[in-house]
Amino acid sequence: MTKIAFKKLVFSSVPLCILITFLVPVGKCVEARAQDAEKVQIRRQIENLITHMQPSAKQKVLQTAKLIENKVFSSSSKVDIYAASVSAVKSQFKDISPSDIDALVAVVMFELWNSEEKDLEEMMGEMHKMNQLKEKQRDYINTLKKQKAIMKENLKEKTVAPRLVQTKVIVPKISQIVAKTQRLNIKFIKTPSLPTFKDPSKMTITELENEILTAEENLNELGDMSQLDQLTLQDTLQKEQQFIQIISTIMKQQNDTLKSIIENMR
């Protein structure tokens, strides 16, 4: 692992509480800001420690993180992240003393945290696209309904109303596409492609009614997909908090000895 340069939090340009308002009560915004400040402090401390690591130890940290990520992010069952980290550290660093294990666990957790933040950025971008698509679908439905109302009103004004052609229009339905994030292979629902919007002014009332039903079904599908992604995002954010908590606890317990432990790792 090359020397990790200090970087801003993925969401530093926008308060975290604003980005996840749909997941947590507004009253927790203050707490979220405090957590952001804590994250910055932890990053600085861990970055400083990593500069003192030997290249061979850095490589083992990467390998350890790889072992853990599959258990943490691919398993459907609940995983004890700390226990999994300790086990992985022991497998990579032979004959390590018990007092040194936590120091390496903190660095490994930091590596996972870095990867996870990139994936969170990717997932948030996908959710933004999904929300934009839902908004476009709502606008389309409203346009269809307005055109239907206009056509019904026009028919009332005519002495002899034309016979409506009862032809059912079959519109392609959207399908769910599962994708994976680039770093940790976290599964999420990718924003699908919607059927091409039609010109409402060129449709009969029957065609409009069928199009409205289909568009509403597609909007419901988008809502279900969005909800699944929100649950995945929430789970990922919870794991991030566990990483940070583990690192924070270790640093408070071993603050005076961490640097010497890290420098002696091979």
Q: What is the pTM of this model?
A: 0.72
**Higher-scoring residue by pLDDT: 254, 197:** 197
pLDDT exceeds 50 at position 1:
no
Structure confidence at residue 31 (pLDDT)? 60
Please write the tens of the pLDDT for every residue from 54-111: 889 889 999 999 989 888 887 667 889 999 999 999 999 988 888 789 989 999 999 9
Tell me how far apart the alpha carbons of residues 115 and 195 are, in angstroms, rounded to a whole number: 35
Instruction: Give tens-digit pLDDT for 150-192.
Output: 998 887 766 555 555 545 555 566 788 899 999 898 999 999 9
Q: What is the mean pLDDT of residues 119-146?
A: 95
Q: Is the pLDDT of residue 34 over 50?
A: yes
Q: What is the pLDDT of residues 192-240, one digit of tens each?
A: 988 889 999 999 988 999 999 999 999 999 999 999 999 999 999 999 9
Identify whether the C-beta of residue 143 lies closer than 8 Å to the C-beta of residue 242: no
Mean pLDDT of 28-39: 66
Does residue 40 register a pLDDT over 60? yes
Judge whether residue 16 has pLDDT over 80. no
Is residue 244 over pLDDT 50?
yes
Q: Is the dihedral of CA 110, 111, 114, 116 positive or negative?
A: negative
Task: Give the pLDDT of residue 200.
Answer: 93
As given in the structure block, the two tokens for residue 67 are 């072992």
Q: Is the pLDDT assigned to residue 138 strictly greater than 90? A: yes
Task: Decide if pLDDT at 30 tops 80.
Answer: no
Q: CB burial class (10 A; 0-12, 13-18, 19+) of residue 233?
A: buried
Residues 112 and 69: beta-carbon distance below 8 Å = yes
What pLDDT does residue 44 have? Answer: 87
Per-residue confidence (pLDDT) for residue 160, from 0 to 100: 52
Residue 4 scores a pLDDT above 60:
no
Angstrom CA distances, 205 to 41, 160, 169, 197, 211, stand at 62, 16, 11, 16, 10
What's the rounded mean pLDDT across residues 27-55?
Answer: 76
